[in-house]
Structure 1
C-alpha cells in the first residue's frame, strides 16, 4: 500500500508538471506569432515583449527560490504561476490588443513561467524523501517537460490555422483551468524543499561558489549554442538549402523524440562514467552535431542531423541541471533557479545575435558560430577538471 501511495504521488507530481509546462509551451512560442501576424505589429515588438516577460520571470525565479530554500511552503508559489497564466489568457481572450499583451500578458506569462523552476526544486526534495536517485528523477522531469513541448506548440498553431488566432486563447484558458485544478487537488499544502544546513568552512564555501560559477558558465555556453541553432535552423533549412516548408517541423519532431530517449539514459551514464566525463562527451558531441547541421544539403541529411541534435541536447538537458545542483547543497532551489534563468537568458540573447550574424553573413554562419560556442563549453569543463559524484 505504501508503494502504491508513492507511485500515486509521483504520478500526480509529474502530471502537474506536464500540464503546467504544456500551458507555457502553448503560449511562449505563439505570442511572437500573435504579436506580429495576429496584431500586425513589426518584428521588433517581439524583442520588447520578450525582454519584459523574461525579466519578470528571472526576478520571480530568484525570489521564489529564496523562499523555498528558507523552508516556506511552495504550494502558493505554484498557485501564483497558474493564476498568472489564467489572468493573461483571459485578458487576451477578451481584449486581444498590443496594450493587453504588454501589460496583462507580460505580468501573467512572466509569473507563469516561474512554475518550472519551482517544480524542479520540489522534485529534488521529493526524490530525496523517497530515496530515488536525484539524477533519475531529474530525468523523469526533463522527459515530462520535453513531451509537453512536443505537444504545446503543435496544438496552438493547429488551432490558429484551423479555427482562428483568438480561439487559441480559449483553448489555453481550458488547459489553464485544468492546471489550476490539479494544483489545488494534488499538490500538498505544506510541501517544502528546505535547503540543508551549511556546515562547511569558509574555504570550502569559496571553492564551492567558484565551482558553481564554472558550472554556470558551462551551462550558459551550451545553452546559447542550442538557442542559436534552434532559432536559425528553420530559416536555414527552407531559405538557404531549399528544403520544403514542412521540413523544420519534421526535424523538430525527430529531435524531440530522440531527446526524450536520451534523457532516460542519463542516470546510467552518470553511474558508469560520472557526471563530469559524461558532460565533456556531451559537449564534444554537440560540437560535432552542430557542425554536421551546418553542412546539411538534403532532406535525409537533415533527419540524421536532427537525431544527433536531439541526442546531445537530451543528454545535456538532464545532466546539466544535476551538475549545477550538485554545487549548491545548502541552497538547491537557488541553484535550480540559476539553471532555468540561464536557459531563459540565452534564449533571449540568441534572437538578436542570430539577426546580426545572419544579416552580415547568412544563417549557415550562425550555425557554425554555435558550434564554436559549444566548443567553448567543452573547454570550460576540461579546464575545470572537476570530478563529481551526484548523490542519490
Structure 2
C-alpha cells in the first residue's frame, strides 16, 4: 500500500509538468499568431505610415512594461500566480477580439495594447510559477525551464506560417479570432491543471533584495539583453516589409523565415540547457551575442531566398540562447524573486521594442528598410561589449 501511494505521488508532478508544457506552447502560439503580421496589419488594414508603425510598437512596449512590472511586484509578494495567469489569458482574448473588429489606430494603441499587455504577461508569470514548482518538487530548474522555452519556440515554428496563411487567405479578422480562441483554451487549462502556490508573508519578506555584488552584473545583463532584443525587434518589424517592398519576395517567406528560426531554436535551447552547467551562462550569452553580429552583418549582403533561410541558423543561436539562458541568468542574480526576475528579463524585450519601434520606423522612412539592419548590427555589437564587461558572478551555488 505504501509503495502504491509513493508511485501515485511520483506520477502527479509529471502530469503537472505536462500541463506546464501545454500552457507554454499555447501562450507561445497566441503571441506567434499576432506579432509577425502586426506591421503588415497596421500598414495595410489600418493604413498608417512606417513611422506610425514604429510608434505603435514603441507605445505597446511602454504600456507593457508598466503593466508587467506592476503585476510582477504584486505576484512576488502576495496572491496566487495561477489566478493571475488565468486573468491575463482572458484579457488577452479580449484584446484579440478588439483587433479583429476595430481599425481605429488610437483605440488599438491605447485600449488594445493595454489588454494585450495583460495577455503577454501570462507567459513570464507562467515561467515564474514553473520555477517555483521546479524548486518545490526538487526538479532541475535549468533544464525544466529550457524545455519550456523550447515549447515556446515550437509554437513559433507553427505560429508565423499559420498567421500569414490566415491573414492573407482569410483576412486579419479570422487570424485574430484564432488567437483569441487560443487564449481562451489556454486560460481553461491554467485554471484546471496548473498548481496553486499562494504566497506567505514569511517566505517573501526575507528575499526581496538581490545580493549587492550582483546588482552591477544584473545591470550589464539588462543592457546586453535589451540591445539584443532591440536588434531582434527591428528584424521582426522590418523583415516582412523589406522582403515585400524592396526585395519583391513572396509575403509568405517572412513566415517561413520566422518558423525556420524558431524550429532551429528548439535544439539550441535544449543544448544550451545541458551546456549551462559545464560552460556557464555568461559564456553562452557571449556566444549568442557574437552569433547576432554575424547574423545582422549577413542580412546586409544576403538577398536570396535560400541564403536567407540558411542564415536563420545564426538567428536561432542568437535568440535561442538569449531566450533560454538570459531568463535563468536573471533568476540566479535575484534569488527568491522569480516573478520580478522573469519579468525584468521580459521587460528587456519590451524596452528593446521601444527602441526598435522608434529606430526602425524612422530609419525606414528617412532612408529605406535595408538601412535598418545597419542599426541592428550596432545594437548587437553593443551587446557584445556589455557581456565582456560583465564579471563572472556565482549566486547561491548557481553557475553564472
Instruction: Report the equivalent of 1:106.
Output: 113
Unaligned runs of 5+ in 2: 1-7
SS at match of 2:333: coil
Is 2:30 the counterpart of 1:23? yes
- Secondary structure of 2:33's match? helix
Written as runs of structure 1 = structure 2, the 5 A alignment for 1:131-210 is 131-191=138-198, 195=204, 197-198=206-207, 205-210=211-216
Q: Does 1:341 find its partner at 2:350?
A: no
Give 1:229 deviation, angstroms. 3.2
Structure 1 residues 386 and 118: CA distance shift in structure 2, 3 A: same
The answer to whether the Cα contact below 8 Å between 2:208 and 2:337 also exists between their aligned partners in 1 is no
Moved more, 5-14 or 20-29: 20-29
1:205-237 deviations in Å (ceiling 9; x for gaps) = 432222211111111122222223333344444
Change in Cα spacing, 1:42 to 1:360, as seen in structure 2 (3 Å) is closer
**After superposition, where does 1:1-392 map in structure 2 within 5 Å?**
1-92=8-99, 97-98=104-105, 100-102=107-109, 104-191=111-198, 195=204, 197-198=206-207, 205-237=211-243, 239-240=245-246, 243=249, 245-388=251-394, 391=398
Structure 1 residue 291, shift from structure 2 partner: 1.7
Alpha-carbon contact 1:69-1:332 (below 8 Å) kept: yes
Shift of 1:337: 0.8
Shift of 1:2: 2.7
Judge conservation of contact 2:43–2:49 (CA < 8 Å) in 1: yes
Paired position in structure 1 for 2:4: none
Q: Are the aligned partners of 2:363 and 2:372 in contact in 1 as well (CA < 8 Å)? A: yes
Residue 199 of structure 1 deviates from its aligned partner by: 9.7
> 2: CA distance between counterparts of 1:52 and 1:367?
22
Q: Alpha-carbon deviations, 1:21-48, whole Å to 9, x = none?
A: 3223323444544444334444555445
Q: Call closer, same or farther: CA 1:232–1:75 in 2, change over 3 Å.
A: same
- Cα contact 2:285–2:322 (8 A) shared by 1: yes
Matched-pair contact (CA < 8 Å) for 1:218–1:377: yes
- In 2, are the aligned partners of 1:276 and 1:388 still within 8 Å (CA)? no
Q: 1:205 to 1:28 in 2, by over 3 A?
A: same
Q: RMSD of the alignment, in Å?
A: 2.9
What does the per-residue CA deviation read over 1:280-333, in whole Å, with 9 as the maximum and x for residues that have no partner?
A: 222222222322232214333223211221122212221111112211114232
Alpha-carbon distance in structure 2 between the residues aligned to 1:260 and 1:157:
21
Structure-2 separation of matches of 1:91 and 1:281? 41
- Separation in structure 2 between the aligned mates of residue 144 and residue 32 of structure 1, nearest angstrom: 25
**Which 10-residue stretch deviates more, 161-170 or 72-81?**
161-170
Partner of 2:5: none
Against the structure 1 CA distance between its residues 32 and 184, is the aligned structure 2 distance closer, same or farther, given a 3 Å change threshold?
Answer: same
- The count of aligned residue pairs is 389
* TM-score when normalising by structure 1: 0.87
Per mean C-alpha deviation after superposition, the further-off stretch among 166-175 and 2-11 is: 166-175
**2:58–2:353 Cα contact (<8 Å) kept:** no
Measure the CA separation in 2 of the matches of 1:33 and 1:234: 7
Deviation at 1:93, TM superposition (A): 5.0
In structure 2, the CA distance between the partners of 1:169 and 1:317, relative to structure 1 (3 Å rule), is closer
Separation (CA, whole Å) in 2 of partners of 1:336 and 1:323: 10
Deviates more, 1:369-378 or 1:184-193: 184-193
| 1:275–1:388 CA contact under 8 A, matched in 2 | no
Alpha carbons of structure 1 residues 311 and 239: separation in structure 2 relative to 1, 3 Å: same
Q: Flag the 1:357–1:215 CA change in 2: closer, same or farther, 3 A.
A: same
Residues in 2 aligned to 1:297 and 1:34: alpha-carbon distance in whole angstroms: 24
Q: Bigger CA drift: 256-265 or 223-232?
A: 223-232
Unmatched 5+ residue regions in structure 1?
Answer: none
Q: What's the offset of the Cα at 1:154?
A: 3.1
**Separation of aligned partners in 1, 2:381 and 2:307:** 22
Q: CA deviation at 1:96?
A: 5.7
Considering Cα pairs closer than 8 Å and 6+ residues apart, tell me whether 1 or 2 has the greater RCO: 2
